[in-house]
Amino acid sequence: MNTPEPAKNHTNTEEIIKKLPKLEQHIHIVGSTKPETLLGIIEDNGVEMPFKNLDDVKKFFQYGDFPHFLNVYSTVNDCITEPKYYERITYEMLESEAACNVKHVEAIFSANDHVRRGLDYDEMLDAINKGIRRAKRKWGITCTIRIDLVRNYGPEVAAKELGWIKKKGDNIVAVDLGGSENGFPPEPYEKVYKKASDLGLRLVAHAGEDAGPESIWGAIKTLNVERIGHGVTAIKDPTLLKEIKSRGITIEACPTSNLRIGAVKSMKEHPIRGFIKQGIRVSVNSDDPPMFNTDINNEYIQLHRELGFTVDELMGISLDSVETSFLPEKRKNELRETFLREHRELKRG
């Protein structure tokens, strides 16, 4: 197992930030496919795509708005024609995360995006877990899975997905509700989320990314989520902010993703500081990194550059993301110790 190089002789704050230990709470596996890999996959399977080279892919990965992004994401899904590709993209996603000193990843798998295209759930899950085991052997990084039920498919499909998880839930710890937020509110998923909770799954929903505070209210009141993906529009509703705080809900912030789809006009206007001021715990995440031309290091660096976060503040956020992760206490304790030790080493320089 290769360990990260010791953090010494950092020349400036951004070098320290890159070396901070991190935990990623919000990253989509398919959205992590590297452009080179995407081109390799379509060369392998012969699927015709509107991109032929890296420049094409880079242009393709630019979005007018959130629905446009989801269309592009759907085209990327069209490229995944066999479960075997999942092993490679999971492994490469974890390779990139380990390079950012990420110790643990909670990775999002939208199973039905592929089952509806004819792929087998069990085979995909096995491929993902194979990629996860290989990455752990190589870099020591760990990874658990959360299933995105994707709100566009409706609650009946979501209930069916819970059946798949019940039958084969290897390494799956949580459910989520991604997809088109406008037009697909959370309320119809009440029973599905109750059942997921009864199955011992942890509860998250994307909300307040492309829709207003009402979407977050629904996720909290009806679905009883423990964490909110994005949550950007919560900042418009002081009562909602108080509710999020009093319930101890964490906001999984994905700043660059929010900027690229136009949920915030500029990074300086991102509401993450407002959340923290309210006493809400946040994590910092990369969402679909190559599709937004980012990685988790860049997310932390943006907070420093554009919003003035200090290294101490970023250390606090990364520790909080351990506390609010879905890891068992034993692994949380291990990671807490590792993070604090690496923080001390970084401060010593």
> Which residues are tagged catalytic?
209
- The beta strand positions in the chain, using DSSP E, are 22-28, 102-109, 142-148, 172-176, 202-207, 227-230, 250-253, 282-284
22 beta partners: 102
Task: Give least dist CB 235 to ligand ADE, A.
Answer: 18
Residue 66 or 91 with smaller CB distance to ligand ADE: 66
Q: How far is the CB of 293 from Zn ion (least distance, A)?
A: 16
The site partner of 209 among ligand ADE, Zn ion, none (C-beta below 5 to 8 Å per kind) is ligand ADE
Give the footprint of Zn ion on this chain (CB under 5 A): 287
- Is the separation of the CB atoms in 149 and 161 below 8 Å? yes
Q: Which is nearer to ligand ADE, 204 or 249 (CB)?
A: 204
Q: Which distant-in-sequence residues (6+ apart) come within 8 Å of 318 by Cβ?
A: 20, 21, 22, 23, 284, 300, 339
Bridge partner list, 28: 108
Contact partner at residue 186 from ligand ADE, Zn ion, none, CB < 5 to 8 Å by partner kind: none
Out of Zn ion, ligand ADE, none, what residue 256 binds, judged by CB under 5 to 8 A for its kind, is: none
* CB closer to Zn ion, 7 vs 196: 196
> CA–CA distance from 104 to each of 16, 143, 269, 347 (Å)?
19, 6, 29, 22
The nearest distance, CB 114 to Zn ion, in angstroms, is 17
Indicate the residue among 143 and 315 with the shorter CB distance to ligand ADE: 143
State the minimum distance, in angstroms, from the CB of residue 24 to ligand ADE. 14
Using CA atoms, how far residue 242 sits from 38, 245, 316, in Å, is 43, 5, 21
Decide whether 178 or 218 has the Cβ nearer to ligand ADE.
178
Q: What share of the chain is helix, strand, coil (3-state, %, to 5)?
A: 55, 15, 30
By a kind-dependent CB cut-off of 5 to 8 A, residue 106 interacts, out of Zn ion, ligand ADE, none, with none
Q: Pick one of Zn ion, ligand ADE, none as the site partner of residue 252 (Cβ within 5 to 8 A by kind).
A: none
Residue nearest to ligand ADE (CB): 178
* Residue number with the smallest Cβ distance to Zn ion: 287
Residues lying near ligand ADE in the complex (CB under 6 A) are found at 28, 31, 73, 178-179, 206, 209, 257, 287-288
DSSP string, 274-322: HHHHTT--EEE--BSGGGGT--HHHHHHHHHHHH---HHHHHHHHHHHH
Distances (CA, A) of 181 to 8, 210, 254, 282: 44, 6, 16, 21
* CB 206, min distance to Zn ion, A: 6
